Amino acid sequence: MSKESIQKLINRALAGDQKAYEALLKRYQNGVYNLIYQMIKNREETEDLVQESFIKAFKSLDSYNDNYAFSTWLYKIAFNHCIDAIRKKKLKTLPLDRPIQLREGEIHHEIRDDSYSPEGDFLFSERKKLIQETINSLPERYRIAIILRHQQDHSYEEISEILGIPLGTVKARIFRAREMLKKKLQEK
């Protein structure tokens, strides 16, 4: 299917055509399924994540930029959704309000709260403000690269795709931006 055909389907879907949504789903479902299955290795979870990925994609279909391949955009959504699911699954927690049962008995939690310090909070917010001001003072091409990498957590490959520049250029811009930030922050 050509890029133009895909774009027509997207436009029809945005206009509310359910058959266009179904056509997009049929076209990309196997690819998304295979991508997620390679990461999860569980059929039931994969099926759920595929369905959730398509829901996310279709809800944000109006944000799709046709300068990029639809499949890349869709796979990125599915990949990120899968990573989020993996992170949530690995997060093992213990309840703080109940004792932990051991063979020898119970252990009760008593946790000291050192988190709030007005002075520490103020210094942290001032440091954060200074860093953001310094980032904002960078030339645009470096500022955009550093924001995509460190504030939006995009990979170098994603930044390359988003900006439409070679991977090496992305790495060079981020390196130069870090050097500029380091120098400007040392001066301040």
Domains and CATH numbers, the chain: 3-90 (1.10.1740.10), 118-187 (1.10.10.10)
Query: What is the pLDDT at residue 170?
Result: 94
- Supply the DSSP string of 134-154, one letter for each residue: HHHTS-HHHHHHHIIIIIS--
Half-sphere exposure at residue 188, Cβ-oriented, CA atoms within 13 angstroms: 15
Tell me how far apart the alpha carbons of residues 79 and 128 are, in angstroms, rounded to a whole number: 30
Judge contact between 173 and 118, C-beta under 8 A: no
Output the tens digit of pLDDT for each of the chain's 188 residues: 788 899 999 999 999 999 999 999 999 999 999 989 988 888 999 999 999 999 999 999 999 988 888 998 999 999 999 989 988 887 555 566 666 666 777 766 666 666 667 777 788 888 889 988 999 999 999 999 999 998 888 899 999 998 999 999 999 999 999 999 999 888 87
Cβ contact 159:149 at 8 Å: yes
